[in-house]
Amino acid sequence: MIKNIKNMQPNALIGYSLLSMIIIVSLVGAIISPYDPVEADFLNRFASPSAGHWFGTDEYGRDVLTRILNGTFTSLRVSTAAVILSVIVGVVLGACTGYFGGWLDRIAMVVVDSIMAFPGLLLVLGIMSALGPSELGIIIALGIAYTPSITRIVRGTVFSLREKDFVEASKLCGNSDWVTLFRHILPNCITPIVVISTSIFTSALLSETALSFLGLGIPPPEPSWGSMLADSRNYLGLNPWMGIFPGLAITFTLLSINLIGDALRDKWDPYMRNL
Amino acid sequence: MQQKTESHMSPPTHPLLEVKDLSIAFPSARFADNKRDKSTTPVVNRTNFSLKSGEIMAIVGESGSGKTMVARALLGLLPSGGIISKGSINFSGEDLTKFDQQQWKNIRGQKISMIFQEPMVSLNPTLKIGFQICEAMSHHTSLPYQTIWARAVELLTQVKIKDPEQCMHKFPHEFSGGMRQRIMIASSLMMKPDLLIADEPTTALDCIVQKEVMDILLNTTRNEGTAVLLITHDLGLVAHYASKVLVMEKGNVVEGGKVSNILDKPTHPYTRKLLSSLPHKPEPLEAEAEAEAEAETANCIVSIKNLCVDYPIRRQWFWQQQQYNRVLHNINMDMRAGETLAIVGESGSGKTSLGRAILQLVNASKGSISVSGIPITGENPPSLRDMSPIVQLIFQDPYASLSPRQTIGKSISEPLLLKPELGKDEITKLTKQALKDVGLPDDYYNRYPNELSGGQRQRVSIARALISKPKLIIADEPVSALDITVQAQILSLLTKLKQKYGFSCIFISHDLSVVEQVADRVVVLLHGHIVEWGSSEALFNRPAHPYTQKLLAALPELQAKGEGSYALHTREHQHYPLPSGYQEAADYADAQLSHVKLSDSHYVACQKTL
């Protein structure tokens, strides 16, 4: 374990430690914080950062730090779930269409292309208005919106791998199509999948913010970084830290995720392994 | 030793190019030994040579020998990080190692130019040929464009491009690889350079085209008085065309001098190793008669009747009728168990399709194939799983045939996983045995393919094909991607394994010298037709079809003359005519060929004279 950390590249180390710090601090902080993230305290509205309220308070007098710490889980949960959903659907769809081709491929690609033709946020808005603002609704909407890009990339990669000699060798060994697909083709797709999922993760996190901004995000008063940022927009001149601190939380999380994504790509790329 | 040869043959006149003590180095890998040191790794050590105008010199070596680095240093085009750590390059009185970018600009293309290995990518596909040829000259000189254009047309004529004026208005994709390489030759000679560096100019080409291009290259440079530095791995080519040669091994020049001297008396062990690795005619075996008799009774492992294979042409619109491109026409072939049958032909002749048809990787559109008595065409073809213990494939490209994410052991043992009766320990044992069979230590079991060299990967590929003990192995150009010494090792390994396991082998290759070494019988394919087939002995000594004769004549070959000495050997066959009343088919697209028996085991396909 320690040896692994020693061999890690500096960027990866920064990424991992930043993310684990964010998670641990949120966990501990949310428990030991003396304030309630939801309950209003009208005597302390718009307080500046002070010893009592490190990050100040918002328009209902709620402690911004406490809300950020509690919001970590909402925000990360939503984006992680959305990424997992779109990766599962996208990989299955992309692998099948890329490997088997034929009419399945044509139909799936028509669907995927038409989803891609919509501006992403518009699509999510449409789905959200059908599902109503709820956490599950956001997850499903974001998941659907990001599936096409994963499908496209996986399909393209599978398509090119399908013609490789080692895939042919697997068929000649007598392996069935599914074994060939799962044992030989999909492991070689990991690199692009990791790269695209980290970028999707970051944009899912931002989309959640944008949705909250538009009033379709996590329903209030539940704290999430996006809704906090959205709430702050009316008071930015008056009380800028209401927006600055959730914004910083988003920035550092995205930074750590991107660094981890780069590190994972380098680690899993077999051509980089012995460098 | 090197100095001695040099002084011995130092030219009386001032040489055009004089390389003294040239050393090239690269910075060491960053993570080597977990230390970041600033030391450098030498890739070329203290190389000396000189070249007179008009002379043709070859640098021979295997991949990683540093031969390309020397060539690149002469043009100031070392890959980033590479530096000339010592020595000088004296080119017509100036030291190139002290040049800056501006001075290089005046040398490159004008005084020294270069031809690259891969003709398919060295021309810009979006620009017309004429523009690309004239570009450099119009930058460097103030001549009127008409003069430059005329010079380009003249050179294109010299490299025997049909209709050169037309050619100037065409795009590169309208030409084949050989034609593009000719265009490259013309374009590199535009400015009348004093020195032309040709880095493996014909490695990517078929052997007949190779001969044409090399002949044109040398005739043209001779006419223009250009010195040529030929970088190659092909000793036959060197013997045929060059007057001096430099043999490089791992960055060191191990031997140099006149080609004839070196062939006659190779002194360095590496040169001898290179020469002895050349494919050679096998000694006639005494057991041959016995084998013949045995073959009579042996059964057919592959039997092909009237096989046609078509590939669909992509349709523009779905209502258009599906068109097909026929790649194999009426193939009839029988193969006896235990023999090695070679399928020979140029690229596009259908030899790989024939192999793939036997493997069921492409479907026959007409005719029938049966392998080991099992018909694999028709109503109910057996599944690939049923056929996997019978027929296996060895791939051409050792870098693409192994899954980069699977360990060697897993790759090899895969066919065994489908046999439920085998336990885990047994599979590991069998896999390690297979590794041992192909000459790899068994701790390679847990390695990944990227830790292996090309030759080692090819061994793994062989082990994987052999582990299910197939009756037939199809080897699709198994050695054409390998260096010559590795090639010799793999060929002898195949022969050894064949004796041990007694499989039959279909050996697909374009390299006739390799084929002569391994094959019992040979089938020559041309445009999807079998034009000649017969025993290796008959076909190589009495080629009947004009195409086979052309193939054999194009083969630059070295032959052992005796104790460690070699000489150039061209097959000047007396012209064996086709049987009377027959002629070579003029158009192979829909030719009706008759098969004429020449001797017991020798047939030729040709057209009846009308």
- Residue A84 binned pLDDT confidence (cut-offs 50, 70, 90): very high
Does this model's pTM top 0.90? My answer is no
Residue B44 CB neighbour total at 10 angstroms:
26
Characterise A27 by phi-psi region: left (phi > 0), alpha (psi -120 to 50), beta (else).
Answer: alpha
Verify whether the Cβ–Cβ distance A170 to B383 is below 8 Å.
no
With cut-offs at 50, 70 and 90, classify the pLDDT of residue B28: low
Share of chain A above pLDDT 70, in %: 94
Nearest Cα of chain A lies from the Cα of B384 at a distance, in angstroms, of: 5
Total Cβ atoms within 10 A of residue A271? 9
Tokens of B598: 């020449």
For the cut 80, the answer to whether the pLDDT of residue A133 exceeds it is: no
Task: For residue A169, give how far its alpha carbon lies from the nearest alpha carbon of chain B (Å).
Answer: 7
Q: What is the mean pLDDT of residues A56-76?
A: 80
- Answer whether residue B328 shows pLDDT above 90: no
- Axis-axis angle for helices A135-162, A64-100 (nearest 10): 40
Query: Which of chain B's residues have a Cβ under 8 Å away from the Cβ of A170?
Result: 403, 414
The mean pLDDT value for B218-241 works out to: 86
* Domains of chain A, start order: 15-24+59-260 (1.10.3720.10)
Confidence of residue B11 (pLDDT cuts 50, 70, 90): very low
Residue B403, chain A, CB below 8 Å: the answer is yes
- Token representation of residue A258: 């991107």
Nearest CA in chain A to B362: A168
Report whether pLDDT(B8) > 50: no
pLDDT of residue B563: 65
The residue-averaged pLDDT of B194-212 equals 84
In the predicted structure, residue A135 carries a pLDDT above the cut 90: no
Q: What is the pLDDT of residue A7?
A: 66
Q: Is the pLDDT of residue B31 over 60?
A: no
What is the interface pTM, i.e. ipTM, of the complex? Answer: 0.74
Residue B485, pLDDT score: 85
CB contact under 8 A, B468 and A273: no
> Is 80 exceeded by the pLDDT of residue A190?
yes
For the cut 50, the answer to whether the pLDDT of residue A250 exceeds it is yes
**Residues of A within an 8 Å Cβ radius of B:** 164-166, 168-176, 183-184, 187-188, 190, 270-271, 273-275
Amino acid identity, residue B270? Y
Structure tokens at B594: 């008759």
Helices (H) and strands (E) in chain A, counts: 11, 0
Percent of chain A at pLDDT above 90? 10
Of the two residues B51 and B10, the one the predictor is more confident about is B51
- Choose among A169, A188, A190: nearest Cβ to B401: A169
Chain A residues with CB under 8 Å of B411 CB are 166
Contacts of the segment A55-59: beta carbons below 8 A, 24+ positions apart: A55/A241, A55/A245, A56/A239, A56/A241, A56/A242, A56/A245, A58/A228, A58/A231, A58/A232, A58/A235, A58/A239, A58/A242, A59/A231, A59/A234, A59/A235, A59/A242
Distance CA B111, CA B269 (A): 36
Contacts 24+ apart (CB under 8 A), A224-230: A224/A71, A224/A74, A224/A75, A224/A78, A225/A68, A225/A71, A225/A72, A225/A74, A225/A75, A225/A249, A225/A250, A226/A75, A227/A71, A228/A58, A228/A64, A228/A67, A228/A68, A228/A71
pLDDT band with cut points at 50, 70 and 90 for residue A85? very high
Q: Quick one: pLDDT at residue B289? A: 44
**Residue B386: pLDDT above 60?**
yes
**CA torsion through residues B162, B163, B168, B170, sign:** negative
Which helix or strand (DSSP H or E) is residue B305 part of? strand B300-313
Average pLDDT over residues B576-599: 72
CA–CA separation, B487 and B507 (whole Å): 14
Greater pLDDT, B558 or A202: A202
Angle made by CA atoms A35, A36, A37, in degrees to the nearest 5:
115
pLDDT of the residue at B506: 92
In whole angstroms, give the CA distance from residue B367 to residue B382. 16
Answer yes or no: do A172 and B468 touch at CB < 8 A.
no
Q: Which segment of B274-283, B346-355, B517-526 scores lowest on mean pLDDT?
A: B274-283
Three-class SS of B176-239: CHHHHHHHHHHHHCCCCCCEEEEECCCCCCCHHHHHHHHHHHHHHHHHHCCEEEEEECCHHHHH
Q: What is the pLDDT of residues A6-50, one digit of tens each?
A: 667 778 888 888 888 888 888 887 787 777 777 777 777 777 777
Upstream peptide bond of B579 is cis (omega within 30 degrees of 0): no
- CA–CA min distance B543, chain A (Å): 34
| Stronger pLDDT, B414 or A215, i.e. the higher one | B414
- pLDDT band (50, 70, 90) for residue B185: confident
Q: Is the pLDDT of residue B232 over 80?
A: yes
Average pLDDT over residues B214-222: 85
When pLDDT is averaged across residues B534-561 and rounded to a whole number, the result is 81
Looking at the predicted structure, is the pLDDT value of residue B430 above 80? yes
Give the closest-approach CA distance of B571 to chain A in angstroms: 36
Contact B393 A169 (CB under 8 A): yes
- Could you tell me if B346 lies within 8 Å of chain A, comparing CB atoms? no
Beta pairing, strands B195-199 & B17-27: unpaired
CB B565 within 8 A of CB B264: yes
- CA–CA distance, B312 with B321 (Å, rounded to integer): 11
Q: What pLDDT is attached to residue A92?
A: 92
More confident residue, B601 or B526: B526
B468 at the A interface (CB within 8 A)?
yes
Q: What pLDDT score was predicted for residue B290?
A: 45
Task: Give residue B249's identity as a one-letter amino acid code.
Answer: E
User: A95 pLDDT exceeds 70?
Assistant: yes
**How many C-beta neighbours within 10 Å does residue A272 have?**
12
Q: Is B448 on the interface with A (CB under 8 A)?
A: yes
